[in-house]
Amino acid sequence: MIIGKIDKNEKKIKFHLDIKCTKCGKTVPGGMQASENYFGSDSFKIEIDNFKKNYLCGICRDKKRLDKQ
């Protein structure tokens, strides 16, 4: 998964994030990528925060989608 934008010429930083599903609490190890410039910036931290707050695992995401139909 990519956090923020990575331009073609930018260096990528790969990092690992343990994300928890906000619904069932299952921990999902995530292989993440961000650009070198973006990584560690304030907006990067905010985006990671938001990402974690809204994260649903595949099963809960499917459920949510089915519930809406």
Residues lying near Zn ion in the complex (CB under 5 A) are found at 21, 23-24, 26, 57, 60
Q: Which is nearer to Zn ion, 12 or 26 (CB)?
A: 26
Q: What span, in angstroms and rounded, lies between the C-alpha atoms of 47 and 17?
A: 13
Q: Which is nearer to Zn ion, 19 or 34 (CB)?
A: 19
Q: Which is nearer to Zn ion, 23 or 52 (CB)?
A: 23
Distant-in-sequence, close-in-space partners of 24: CB < 8 Å, separation ≥ 6: 57, 59, 60
Q: Closest distance between Zn ion and the C-beta of residue 16, in Å?
A: 19
Q: Closest distance between Zn ion and the C-beta of residue 54, in Å?
A: 12
Which H/E stretch holds residue 31?
Answer: strand 27-35
Task: State whether residue 67 is helix, strand or coil.
Answer: helix
